[in-house]
């Protein structure tokens, strides 16, 4: 399958390309950038030297659509919804890594992103591409909304317990910690090395845009209105997310019961590992795995979940979605 990447210069694009060049069923045939001098991909991503011989071009959408059967959209929100309709109309399939098609309600999108959605009819009908929950909806679809990194990490920890009614849907606290690559590759003072290194802090308290996404998906899973307090933190490391989550149990259960519920929920799912140990982000670094565990403490259910924010949190799950959409092996290119 010929695939293209719209917006090939960021960190998620790099990880995506690293996976795609090893994927047995895929050929990368088009890369775009807004940089006018059409840099070779190895100039933008030195680590791809000798592994992918392609230029990043300032292509119009139609040009990209000619080159590729499927396009990974790795441009920021706002830019994605400007390009996706054209790509779809040109006959491309699209996996959108931005937030533009994740929320089902245009009003919610507008209130959190401060933008009027320009393609509102596709909201609500687009599949949310978290395969561990919605794998059956993915095959054959034209457009997949790839989940956010904090979102996947949080949801994969909480979904089994909410689905089984083992925790209350409200009063959930998600204390999440992320490496700096999640903030993107655009120069900002806040993500300069000497600002982030040797420091940890919370940010965007009460207003991080992954909040409504987490609530929307978990509400769907539980059949109840889920409400979370989501506190993201920036941690001095390149990659990885740890979500430490606190919920109220609905009934008295042993830790083993809760772990068993998790294991049952993820039976046959190749990329979620339910573990007994306290997971570290390093355990999943560079992989498409999500490691989760659960235990109880002082009357609360404590759920821990780790991913590599660029892989399972972005580009790995995008390829997993590609695999399911196109009928390839779910793990192709990912193990």
Catalytic residues, which ones? Answer: 149
- Range in contact with its own copies (rule: CB under 8 A) among 48-56, 93-101, 114-122, 132-140: 48-56
User: How near is the Cβ of 328 to its own copies at its closest, in Å?
Assistant: 17
CB of 222 within 8 A of CB of 162?
yes
If binding is defined by CB under 8 A, does position 275 make contact with its own copies?
A: yes
Token reading at 53: 């011989």
Indicate whether 123 belongs to the interface with its own copies (CB under 8 A): no
For its own copies, the closer of residues 33 and 61 by Cβ is 33
Output 281 or 323, the one with its CB closest to its own copies: 281
Instruction: For residue 260, count CB atoms less than 10 angstroms from its CB and return exposed for 0-12, middle for 13-18, buried for 19 or more.
Output: middle
Does residue number 173 form part of the binding site for its own copies (CB under 8 A)? yes
For the beta carbon of residue 57, count every other beta carbon within 10 angstroms. Answer: 18
- Residue 115 lies near its own copies (rule: CB under 8 A): no
x/- mask, its own copies, residues 219-258, rule CB under 8 A, reads --------xxx-x-x-xxxxxx-x-x-x------------
Query: C-beta of 219: minimal distance to its own copies in Å?
Result: 15
Which residue carries 């049952």 as its tokens? 264
33 binds its own copies per the rule CB under 8 A: no
Does 283 interact with its own copies (rule: CB under 8 A)? yes
Strand arrangement, sheet containing 70-73:
56-57, 27-32, 2-6, 70-73, 93-96, 143-145, 127-128
Shortest reach from residue 94's CB to its own copies, in Å: 26
Asked if residue 5 lies in contact with residue 13, where contact means CB atoms within 8 angstroms, the answer is: yes
Interaction residues for its own copies, span 7-26 (CB under 8 A) = 11, 22
User: Contacting its own copies (CB under 8 A), which of 281, 320, 321, 323?
Assistant: 281
Nearer to its own copies, 61 or 222 (CB): 222
Closer to its own copies by Cβ: residue 147 or 279: 279
Site size for its own copies, by CB under 8 A?
Answer: 72
Q: Is 189 in the site for its own copies (CB under 8 A)?
A: yes
Of 40, 33, 44, the residue nearest 6 (C-alpha): 33
Q: Give the whole-angstrom CA distance, residue 216 versus residue 211.
A: 9
27 binds its own copies per the rule CB under 8 A: no
Site for its own copies in 124-163 (CB under 8 A): none
The distance of Cα 165 from the centroid of its chain, to the nearest Å, equals: 25
Closer Cβ to its own copies, 67 or 273, answer by number? 273
Taking the least distance from each CB to its own copies, the nearer of 62 and 335 is: 335
- Alpha-carbon gap, residue 25 to 2, rounded angstroms: 9
**DSSP assignment of 59-121:** --HHHHHHH-SEEEE-SPTTHHHHHHHHHHHTT-EEEE-SSTTT-S-HHHHHHHHSS--S-GG
Instruction: Supply the minimum distance, in Å, between the C-beta of residue 238 and its own copies.
Output: 5
């Amino acid at each position: 399958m010929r695939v293209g990447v719209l917006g090939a210069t960021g960190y998620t694009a790099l990880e995506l390309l690293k996976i795609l060049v090893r994927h047995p069923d895929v050929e990368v045939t088009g890369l775009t950038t807004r940089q006018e001098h059409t840099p070779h991909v190895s100039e933008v991503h030195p680590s791809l030297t000798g592994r992918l011989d392609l230029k990043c071009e300032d292509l119009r959408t139609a040009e990209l659509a000619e080159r590729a059967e499927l396009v990974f959209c790795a441009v920021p929100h706002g830019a994605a919804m400007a390009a996706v309709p054209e790509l779809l109309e040109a006959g491309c399939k699209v996996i959108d890594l931005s937030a533009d098609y994740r929320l089902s309600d245009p009003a919610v999108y507008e209130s959190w992103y401060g933008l009027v959605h320009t393609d509102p009819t596709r909201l609500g009908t687009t599949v949310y591409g978290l395969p561990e929950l919605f794998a059956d909806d993915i095959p054959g679809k034209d457009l997949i909304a790839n989940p956010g990194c904090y979102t996947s990490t949080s949801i994969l920890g909480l979904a089994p317990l909410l689905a089984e009614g083992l925790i209350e849907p409200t009063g959930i606290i998600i204390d999440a910690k992320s490496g700096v690559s999640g903030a993107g590759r655009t120069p900002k003072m806040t993500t300069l090395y000497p600002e982030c290194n040797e420091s940890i802090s919370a940010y965007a308290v009460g207003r991080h845009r992954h909040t409504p996404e987490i609530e929307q998906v978990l509400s769907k899973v539980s059949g109840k209105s889920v409400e979370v307090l989501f506190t993201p933190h920036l941690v001095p490391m390149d990659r990885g997310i740890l979500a430490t989550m606190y919920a109220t149990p609905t009934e008295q259960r042993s830790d083993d019961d809760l772990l068993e519920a998790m294991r049952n929920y993820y039976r046959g799912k190749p990329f979620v590992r339910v573990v007994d140990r306290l997971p570290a982000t390093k355990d999943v670094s560079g992989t498409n795995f999500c490691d989760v565990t659960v235990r109880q403490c002082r009357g609360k259910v404590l759920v821990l979940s780790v991913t590599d924010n660029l892989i399972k949190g972005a580009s790995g799950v995008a390829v997993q979605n590609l695999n399911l959409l196109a009928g390839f092996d779910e793990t192709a290119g990912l193990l």
